[in-house]
């Protein structure tokens, strides 16, 4: 029985191994945007159109990436949220939840303090058949799950804001509790190149020292920085009420630190050519922390530098180097790599791969079959492979030529989400 741990081997040393990313990509990135300070539904929609379609927008033709967004229920006056927008705005949000393009619940929002208020929000989602599996803590919100960085109480049974039982039962499986890194590329050995820059020696030097300190504290057993030890996107945890979730860590590789330039107006200083090249070179994963709705001009949300950065990212994606997808899809793919197991055998001149999704390390229930999308196996001969998933033959297996490693492969199809027309 093989597991994802085998993928560190080269294809020349074993017959079959999992490729880290769907063929032909060499890295994977999700833009995980907190909707804080997004002015209104019009800005929210224009941003999503630009990122997900080729439509003509106020910023020029869209870049046709696959980018998600977040929602919460209540915000400060004048800021977009589910409750503060109008009926058209709420319908827009629900439609994009159902299409997979609004994929994160950014807590319940501000000024929601109690279990009853949390229940009302979840009831609203369920009433409209809107299912979200990703939760991102929101700064200063009492319903947060993070006990240290985010100072939340949402998983404390005795607290008035306790809601973890309802929220996990609703379907939340992935939780971000405020952990962030400046290191370019996760799910690989931590490398610090790209943080320090001679153009900004003081600020970037401070950022580098912070990352080195996080690594040191993690190795000393400090629980706050434990995720930094493995530089992993995902880890299985139990909340304070013992409910199981996956925690994920986000990245902002700006030289000024994880909170620097994490905005729509400044994303051009983050998604630089150098940063993207390092991500590809290292073969890493990136869940990019930002706030796309923090902009300067409601009529043209992204300035020319920001728009150019997204065009640069689109080129990396369309040329098959970086797979850009939503946060939920990236996390599901990472979970699949961790949880699946497979066996191989020869059968009438063919190599048969039997993939199993139900394994002892399934942490948050059965692994959905849609999370297997894109799984790619290095094989000796892609034309002589059969694949079965939990005993069912796969009839749409893709057979790929050799990639830069010299190995051929087979893949389960990865289909693009269909962006809704509203």
d(CA 366, CA 372) in angstroms, rounded, equals: 12
Q: What is the pLDDT of residues 312-350, one digit of tens each?
A: 999 999 999 999 999 999 999 999 999 999 999 998 899
In a domain, 298, yes or no: yes
* Angle in degrees, 0-180, between the axes of helices 41-52 and 87-99, rounded to the nearest 10: 30
Q: Find the mean pLDDT for residues 53-78.
A: 97
d(CA 406, CA 411) in angstroms, rounded, equals: 16
Q: Which residues does 225 contact at the CB level (< 8 Å), separation at least 6?
A: 214, 215, 217, 218
DSSP 235-268: EEEE-TT--EEEEE-EE---TT-TTTT-STTTGG
Note whether 55 and 134 are same-domain residues.
Answer: yes
292, 319, 346 — which closes off a domain? 319
In a domain, 143, yes or no: yes
Q: Find the mean pLDDT for residues 61-89.
A: 97
pLDDT at 91 over 90: yes
Supply the range of the domain harboring residue 406: 2-6+331-411
Domain total for the chain? 2
Percent of the chain residues past pLDDT 70, beyond the cut: 97
pLDDT confidence of 8, banded at 50, 70, 90? very low
Q: What is the pLDDT of residues 390-406, one digit of tens each?
A: 999 999 999 999 999 99
Note whether 113 and 227 are same-domain residues.
Answer: yes
pLDDT at 65 over 60: yes
294, 319, 344 — which closes off a domain? 319
Q: What is the pLDDT of residues 224-251, one digit of tens each?
A: 999 999 999 999 999 999 999 999 999 9
Note whether 40 and 127 are same-domain residues.
Answer: yes
Q: Residue 398's beta-bridge partner residues? A: 411
Q: What is the pLDDT of residues 344-359, one digit of tens each?
A: 999 889 999 999 999 9
pLDDT at 56 over 50: yes
Neighbours of 72 (CB within 10 A): 26
Note whether 55 and 155 are same-domain residues.
Answer: yes
Q: Supply the pLDDT for residue 111.
A: 87
Task: Note whether 206 and 257 are within 8 A (CB).
Answer: yes
pLDDT at 5 over 80: no
Note whether 79 and 142 are same-domain residues.
Answer: yes
Q: Supply the pLDDT for residue 15.
A: 81
Note whether 248 and 130 are same-domain residues.
Answer: yes
Q: Supply the pLDDT for residue 347.
A: 87
Q: Find the mean pLDDT for residues 192-205.
A: 96
Nearest alpha-carbon partner for 250 in 263, 234, 267: 234
Note whether 230 and 166 are same-domain residues.
Answer: yes
Q: What is the pLDDT of residues 113-172, one digit of tens each?
A: 999 999 999 999 999 999 999 999 998 899 999 899 999 999 999 999 999 999 999 999
């Amino acid at each position: 029985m093989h597991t994802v741990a085998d993928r560190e081997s080269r294809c020349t040393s074993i017959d079959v191994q999992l490729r880290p990313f769907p063929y032909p990509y060499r890295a994977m990135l999700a833009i995980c945007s907190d909707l804080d300070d997004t002015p209104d539904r019009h800005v929210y929609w224009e941003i999503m159109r630009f990122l997900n379609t080729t439509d003509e927008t106020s910023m020029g033709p869209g870049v046709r990436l696959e980018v998600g967004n977040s929602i919460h229920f209540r915000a400060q006056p004048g800021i977009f949220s589910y409750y503060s927008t109008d009926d058209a705005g709420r319908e827009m949000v629900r439609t994009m939840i159902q299409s997979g393009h609004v994929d994160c619940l950014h807590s319940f929002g501000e000024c929601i303090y109690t279990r009853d208020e949390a229940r009302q929000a979840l009831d609203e989602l369920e009433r409209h058949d809107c299912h979200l599996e990703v939760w991102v803590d929101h700064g200063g919100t009492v319903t947060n799950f993070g006990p240290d960085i985010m100072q939340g109480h949402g998983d404390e049974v005795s607290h008035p804001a306790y809601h973890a039982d309802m929220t996990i039962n609703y379907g939340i499986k992935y939780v971000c509790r405020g952990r962030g890194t400046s290191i370019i590329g996760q799910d690989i050995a931590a490398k610090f190149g790209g943080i320090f820059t001679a153009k900004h020696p003081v600020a970037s030097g401070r950022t580098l020292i912070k990352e080195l300190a996080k690594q040191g504290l993690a190795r000393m057993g400090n629980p706050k920085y434990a995720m930094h030890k493995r530089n992993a996107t995902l880890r299985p945890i139990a909340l304070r009420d013992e409910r199981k979730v996956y925690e994920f860590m986000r990245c902002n590789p700006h030289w000024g630190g994880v909170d620097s330039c994490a905005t729509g107006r400044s994303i051009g200083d983050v998604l630089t050519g150098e940063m993207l090249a390092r991500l590809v070179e290292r073969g890493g994963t990136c869940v990019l922390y930002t706030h796309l709705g923090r902009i300067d001009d409601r009529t043209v949300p992204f300035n020319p530098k920001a728009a150019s950065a997204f065009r640069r990212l689109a080129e990396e994606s369309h040329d098959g180097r970086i797979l850009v997808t939503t946060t939920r899809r990236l996390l599901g793919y990472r979970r699949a790599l961790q949880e699946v197991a497979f066996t191989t055998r020869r059968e009438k001149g063919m190599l048969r791969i039997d993939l199993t999704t139900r394994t002892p390390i399934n942490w948050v229930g059965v692994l959905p079959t849609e999370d297997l999308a894109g799984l790619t196996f290095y094989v000796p001969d892609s034309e002589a492979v059969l694949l079965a998933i939990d005993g069912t033959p796969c009839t749409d297996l893709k057979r790929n030529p050799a990639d830069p490693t010299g190995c051929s492969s087979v893949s389960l199809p990865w289909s693009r989400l269909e962006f809704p027309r509203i």
